[in-house]
Structure 1
């Protein structure tokens, strides 16, 4: 065994390591440059199902010892630099820098080339290198185990690379990359994981344009190929024969199209194509001209296809607009709808007539109600299965879409509030900063459903407030009523930190009224015997008041805190009473609860709907809800960041100007459709 050391800095070599896909395509290009008529790529898996090895095998002419010495011993010393065609068949060469071999390390940490040269078919040379030392290549020889050609094996495949190379869509991406080459040399076969690349079978449309660039010798050519399946969009920079040298992002909007483009120009061979978009002339002018031609191409193709698809929808009766006269606003809305619906047409047309009609109707309603959120609605509607769309269609026969959305939002808001309340009560900073009950009680006064569904149906009662105020002294001096207009002051005139009493009246049946009183204790205050005696005395005095001392009036009193002492725990765990009750008669009940119990009970009541909605409220969701609804009552640690103004919530309409603006955007650049369409198609 002997070794070759590349005479260049290791950091420079590390920059030549590329993505897994780029590493695979470079290995295939190297095989084609060796006059291989057959190239086969495959994956081998471990017993656990992970990618263990990547193999690329070709039947080219192999590498001689001189080729190995020249190709692996130096950077930029490849034999390809002295010629532009392959040695035997005279095909166009792809590489010439001798850098492609390093791209394979984007797949795995160890790469081995096993090659048998046609001049010495009995001997196999093995060249092995590891990513941690890209300068060193170990070379051994052995009796040949296979025929003439080269076998490249990549092991220690990293997890991300394995997942990328396992994707079924990779076969289409490879077909797009090698399309022009396979078109030029139809006898060549490239296979990946047992499937032969067949670009011609995937093509929907192919057009070629000559580009006029001032002062350019040799007219650049642009080939545009549209595909039946989704591929990674790319603009390939090719030599005059169509040999791809580099790829860049097309940088255009073409909603609903899967395409690749090939810019053929001999001048790319004499320049560093990696700088094609850096402003370096004349490459920059050629690329700009190609992108402009792409825009013209897809503007025309979009208009043609859009008209065709909409004609089909109108013909079958699924199109949600009539042909009658419309207002200017509806015409503008319709123009935007056509663009967006066309963008999503691949998904829409996968369903039957019934689901297609419903989907188009929902898209129209979403556009009319809130154009800014249209891409979210698109994503949600178009991901529904046919079964779910049928269920939604039946549901819309019994209620409205607005009612469904409103109810779902209300449940989502409640789940978010519980998460936010948990943050206020138990996170260190908010808990410390929210000791002043005039913050927490103001929030809870508008979220009384948290104590029970009957609490959500309550309303303010002026007479009840007067009764409670009359006996408030029984709870101590540092107590205030929610909504009480006058501050409760200590004897020295200072403003106390009040324990809040929330009050609500609930008419639960005809001629029957239930009064609900909730006393909130500071998170730091433990509930014990004194607090229980206070709430019991208060309850007894209030329920006997002459204004509410009637047989059709009942009372619920709750005292809530973060912690209880042993006495309080024993009192609320008595035989014959439900857990939490310390008093219970026909006309009144007194309960002792902790905040964690209140929150858990509220979550439990919402659990079924939460699972049905597949809704998960995160910490950030909870905080953001508090900011949007109760920003003025939040402690400093929760008051930072953007908070949505309550006045902006629930905006269900859009002005004619909004629709007109959207239509103008659509006609100018298809921006709305492109944004939504790219998300729906999975393009990133």
Structure 2
């Protein structure tokens, strides 16, 4: 079964131009999880020169049904513009769905072949699909067996003429996959989700800086129990960012949302996993008005939920403080090396200490003040701070900072007290 479509191979490459081999390989893993797999296996071999001789990604998902093949390869049948719009949505809110990930092999290999087993009307069928890099708008599909014995579904995609080396796999791609999937594997840990590379589990635990498990928040009025796990990650979680994950009593994720400390211009990457029977019948989509109408519904307006979020935010801020304090010390060391800090005479040691401690406190309260600045902007900001600290207008520094970023009540009080002292 051969298929040709209107969109050109060049057009597909243009739309997928932002992918690299790390992101592309991750897409094949996401394809497996999107197919309801719980186990993904990446296997590769290399020769004595470190050249990859074989590479495959296998999953135990529901496979690719040949009667739905045209839908599964749906991106082939869309205009370039429509495909680009879908990828934008896919990269921000979805993963391997809609077939997009199947095309990205051109970033690292010459061709790809899918061998898939699926169930249809009580029979287990097996087939293969082939796509070459020179003809991404063309695929060849063959139904190989219409009554497979063993009754196990899944898909294995094999790549030919792989362009990256064994060293790239070990030093670049695997660390990327650790950061890409650590939160996902932790979220589904109790359900046995796993990724294996040449038979060894993907060691994402290397990306954990701090964690606290077994936390219990109890809302006294209704005796509602929330089990909470906090993890701080060493590296960015890529597109996932820092989120709260809400899990029902069966261990199934029902909702996720950004934490209040997500993207605060620091490197405090974190995830919070919250499990409770309270989320079994929870309506996360209700507006405040709808929640008032549904008097007995569990919504974000429920006192239990508000209590939970308050406790989670307190936990995050408490965990973040020592991290920011340590990072502020490193920032001042960097500023000294970059020549951002003014030169002080021995007799001005007290002024230097005052300036450094003030800058550190400002960073700990609002890292955004220090983000995205050029060297010249850093110098100007530091010198302005130094001038105000050593003038009769020391208190004006508070107004300057408040005019740049929004401070919470606690932060205002802490900064005001420090500057007054």
CA apart distance, 1:115: 0.9
Kept in 1: contact 2:113–2:131 (CA 8 A): yes
CA apart distance, 1:139: 1.9
Structure 1, unaligned runs of 5 or more = 78-91, 208-222, 268-294, 312-324, 342-371, 376-655, 671-684
Kept in 2: contact 1:62–1:115 (CA 8 A): yes
Q: Distance in 2 between matches of 1:59 and 1:254?
A: 38
Counterpart of 1:156 in structure 2 is 161
1:376-387 aligned at under 5 Å gives the runs none
1:256-655 aligned at under 5 Å gives the runs 257=268, 259=269, 301-305=319-323, 327-336=350-359
Q: Which residue among 168, 175, 184 is the counterpart of 1:169?
A: 175
Kept in 1: contact 2:129–2:140 (CA 8 A): yes
CA apart distance, 1:338: 8.4
Change beyond 3 A, Cα 1:232–1:51: farther
Kept in 2: contact 1:116–1:124 (CA 8 A): yes
Counterpart of 1:22 in structure 2 is 23
Kept in 2: contact 1:113–1:127 (CA 8 A): yes
Counterpart of 1:36 in structure 2 is 37
Quick check: 1:62 aligned with 2:52? no
Change beyond 3 A, Cα 1:306–1:153: same
Structure 2, unaligned runs of 5 or more = 79-92, 214-228, 247-252, 273-282, 286-312, 330-347, 365-374, 390-396, 406-421
Residue by residue, what CA displacement relative to the aligned partner does 1:139-159 show, whole Å, maximum 9, x if unpaired?
234467995311011222223
Counterpart of 2:3 in structure 1 is 4
CA apart distance, 1:135: 0.6
Change beyond 3 A, Cα 1:182–1:156: same
CA apart distance, 1:171: 4.4
Q: Helix, strand or coil for the counterpart of 2:352?
A: helix
Counterpart of 1:190 in structure 2 is 195
Aligned-pair Cα RMSD in Å:
5.3
Change beyond 3 A, Cα 1:116–1:662: farther
Kept in 2: contact 1:110–1:130 (CA 8 A): yes
Q: Helix, strand or coil for the counterpart of 1:126?
A: strand
Counterpart of 1:534 in structure 2 is none
Counterpart of 2:101 in structure 1 is 100
1:81-96 aligned at under 5 Å gives the runs 96=97
Kept in 2: contact 1:58–1:149 (CA 8 A): yes
Residue by residue, what CA displacement relative to the aligned partner does 1:472-493 show, whole Å, maximum 9, x if unpaired?
xxxxxxxxxxxxxxxxxxxxxx
Q: Distance in 1 between matches of 2:167 and 2:2?
A: 29
State the structure with bigger RCO (CA 8 A, min sep 6), 1 or 2. Answer: 2
Q: Which residue among 261, 266, 273 is the counterpart of 1:254?
A: 266
Moved more, 19-28 or 157-166: 157-166
Q: Helix, strand or coil for the counterpart of 1:230?
A: coil
CA apart distance, 1:136: 0.5
Q: Please, what TM-score do these two structures have when normalized by structure 1?
A: 0.33
Q: Distance in 1 between matches of 2:240 and 2:101?
A: 20
CA apart distance, 1:266: 8.0
Q: Please, what TM-score do these two structures have when normalized by structure 2?
A: 0.50
Kept in 1: contact 2:73–2:98 (CA 8 A): no
Change beyond 3 A, Cα 1:59–1:335: same
Change beyond 3 A, Cα 1:307–1:99: closer
Q: Helix, strand or coil for the counterpart of 1:8?
A: coil
Counterpart of 1:137 in structure 2 is 139
Kept in 1: contact 2:41–2:195 (CA 8 A): yes
